[in-house]
Structure 1
């Protein structure tokens, strides 16, 4: 279904309710540059390093796009788990996993208080940015604790740039991207207002430092386009 959520004046801050869940896949594909390609990159990489019956946990799994991509590329059986606090998202995720014949365990949970299952890989795509900074660092530390030795944490985030001139220019580049996807200036401004103080982005360096302080041995940037980046943090 096509995203028309912000064609009308907003009445509340952004949340992942039924209206967003019903158009989430279209919204993500049209709002995040190279969204599908990035998920494919993540899935292919995980499938290249994971072994039979290894566990993958997706925190903030939304409609299960990442886990379904892992299912698509997996050459051996994997244990796939998705957690999200939005019931509407999980309902659509369940429908999609059934349609694709994927064995994915989905559960409603607040990931900031969740006892994260032990896993070889944990993913959080465009999730941390919606968590308040004090809880964000604690969650990343919990992720590190839940990973097995040598395990990986892959997370994607919207980012800001330290240089104000570059930051302003990159915002304009991104706005042009959204216009090219068919969003009107009214829709763009409505969504920006709805996300104010809901989505709180870090700089690329701040994201890396957060992971290192949480206990990860190394952090690499896997993918970057403008003000979006994907990282891989590895546990010692």
Structure 2
């Protein structure tokens, strides 16, 4: 189904409700530059890391597209757990898993409070940016503590530049991309206003510093387009 969420005037801040959930896959593909390519990279590293009997968590799994794709490529037995706090998203995820025959443990959970088991891989696709900065580092530390030695955390985030002109140009470049995907100026403006103070991005350097402060031995960008980046952090 095509994303037309912001063709009408917004009445509240952005939330992952039923209206968003039913068009979310289209929204991602048209709103996140090279989304499929960044997901392929994420899948590659996740599959290399997972061993027989291993465990992967997807934090903010939305409609479970990533875990479904990973499940189809697995040559071993592994546990795939998707966590999200939106019932609407999880409902879409369950429908997709059933239709595609994917065995994934989908749970409604607060990723800040969840009791994680020792895992091989954590994935977070454009989720940290929705976690309040005051507790974001606390979550990343919890992820590091819950990973096995040499485990990995793969996360994608919208990023900012602290150079004011460059940051402005990056935003303009991104808006041009959205227009090429068929979004109108009005839809772009509406979504920007809905996300105000809901989505709070860090810079590339700030994300790397956060990961290292939280116990990861290494962190770097493995894919970037303008102000969108995919990171890998190694415990």
For residues 135 and 82 of structure 2, the distance between their equivalents in structure 1, rounded to whole angstroms, comes to 20
CA deviation map 1:122-141 (0-9, x unaligned): 01110000010011100000
Give yes or no for the alignment of 1:86 onto 2:80: no
Q: Give ranges in structure 1 of 5+ residues lacking alignment.
A: none
Instruction: Output the CA distance in 2 between the equivalents of 1:87 and 1:115.
Output: 19
- The match for 2:49 is 49
Quick one: distance in 1 between partners of 2:214 and 2:167?
Answer: 27
Structure 2 residue aligned with 1:174 = 174
Match of 1:17 in 2: 17
> For residues 191 and 163 of structure 1, what CA distance do their matches in structure 2 show?
24
Describe the SS at the equivalent of 1:92.
Answer: helix
Partner Cα distance (2:34, 2:183) in 1: 16
Q: Deviations over 1:45-75 (max 9, x none)?
A: 2112321121010011000011112112222
**TM-score, scaled relative to structure 1:** 0.98
Corresponding position of 2:225:
225
Give the alignment's Cα RMSD to 1 decimal.
0.8
Q: Distance in 2 between matches of 1:220 and 1:71?
A: 26
1:29 paired residue number: 29
Alignment of 1:119-138 (within 5 A): 119-138=119-138
Q: Is the 8 A contact 1:223 1:231 kept in 2?
A: yes
Q: Please say if residues 47 and 75 of structure 1, whose CA atoms lie closer than 8 Å, have aligned partners that are also in contact.
A: no
1:142 equivalent in structure 2: 142
Q: Does the CA-based 8 Å contact 1:39-1:69 persist in structure 2? A: no
* Runs ≥4 residues deviating over 2 A: none
Residue in 2 aligned with 1:159? 159
Classify the secondary structure of the residue corresponding to 2:45: helix
User: Structure 1: how far apart are the matches of 2:129 and 2:49?
Assistant: 27
